[in-house]
Amino acid sequence: MRGKKPSAKAYEERRIIMSKQKIAVLFGGVSSEHEVSLVSAYHILQNIPNDKYDVICIGITKKGHWLYYPGEYEDIKTGQWENNPDCCTAILSPDALHKGFIIMGNDEAYLRKVDAVFPVLHGMNGEDGSIQGLCQLSGLPCVGCDMTSSADCMDKSVTHRLLEYAGIKTAPFVALCRLSLEDMEKSTELVEEKLGYPVYIKPACAGSSVGVSRAENAEELKEGLKIAFAHGNKAVVEKEIKGKEVECAVLGNIGNLLASIPGQITPAEGFYDYDAKYKNGTSVLDIPAKISPEQTEKLREIAKKAYKACGCGGMARVDFFVNDEEIILNEINTIPGFTPISMYPKLIENMGISYSELIDRLIQLAME
């Protein structure tokens, strides 16, 4: 006996679902920036155009467990998503013919195909080329920079050298490896000889100002190096640059780039650290930045030049120090924050591109 014939409405709904592009949004991650990722992912999921995209949520716990998450977006932001009983193991298949995730249910495993991956993973194991390389192996378009440019921009010592080669001015720096801890006096003397004080000590491969400290003397430098090396095997010590903290959003692939009018950050106190970026929201963000028209145009051109020099694609936020004498490039962030107080979406919105349109453009750029 034949079943009831589906209605015209049911046919149309099925047609719409089939025509949507399937996007996997990755969030969480084994990183000191896990919580930032959750907030960024929540806002991206809230604003992704539902009429164009069918979204599959893949969360990565702090222990590195990949889970398919079918629950409410609100629980992602709060970190409660992991407790959802419907979560199950998800594996991104490295087989390029699969083009999707193997979902391990209670009694069965099935393939969930996707058209692209949107990694909302800040810091180590997400912004450093790891995920991008896995997507490349899997034959899936990945939103943002590719494996090589992600790795190059994540490692501040490599970024410094690429930018120097391109003729772009950066802060004087010293790169150190973990072995430096075994001869702290020698490392301190090297920094004092090359840079003097004050300096900033940064983990070479961390973002969101995690593990960053400022030193005005040898004791503070030694303590700062211990903090930096708690976040990785390499550290970068940079000479302090006095100037306004100015950021420029770049959107597009090589050959068709948009560089935003720059914005300026005035930290409530000290420097623009992790708490100022993502927690208290007390820092002042000015768009446009309080710099001259000539500096504005020069900075936008340098941002695009740096983006090209590092082989970036899709998006990046390029950070600078600007004073009366010079424009110094600080760093390039390939997966900038997407929280309500993050500069990148605010700069793009100032160009007349809404949050939802930005997400749409990023996905389409990945598929070019």
Domains of the chain: 8-142 (3.40.50.20), 153-169+242-366 (3.30.470.20), 173-239 (3.30.1490.20)
Q: Average per-residue pLDDT in the chain?
A: 91
Tell me the pLDDT band of 296, cut-offs 50, 70 and 90: very high
pLDDT tens-digit map of 338-368 = 988 899 999 999 999 999 999 999 999 999 9
Tell me the pLDDT band of 1, cut-offs 50, 70 and 90: very low
152 vs 207, more confident: 152
Tell me the pLDDT band of 275, cut-offs 50, 70 and 90: low
Tell me the pLDDT band of 12, cut-offs 50, 70 and 90: very low
| Residue 286 in this model has a pLDDT that exceeds 90 | yes
Averaged over 253-278, what is the pLDDT?
78
pLDDT of residue 7: 58
| Residue 3 in this model has a pLDDT that exceeds 60 | no
Share of the chain above pLDDT 90, in %: 80
Averaged over 48-67, what is the pLDDT?
97
| Residue 150 in this model has a pLDDT that exceeds 70 | yes
Tell me the pLDDT band of 279, cut-offs 50, 70 and 90: low
| Residue 107 in this model has a pLDDT that exceeds 90 | no
pLDDT of residue 179: 73
pLDDT of residue 277: 52
| Residue 245 in this model has a pLDDT that exceeds 60 | yes
Pairing relationship of beta strands 21-28 and 53-60 according to DSSP bridges: parallel
Q: How many residues does the chain have?
A: 368
Query: Among 174-183, 292-301, 314-323, which is the least confidently predicted range?
Result: 174-183
Query: Among 7-11, 112-116, 136-140, 169-173, which is the least confidently predicted range?
Result: 7-11
Query: Among 272-281, 290-299, 300-309, which is the least confidently predicted range?
Result: 272-281
pLDDT tens-digit map of 167-180 = 999 999 999 998 77
Tell me the pLDDT band of 243, cut-offs 50, 70 and 90: very high
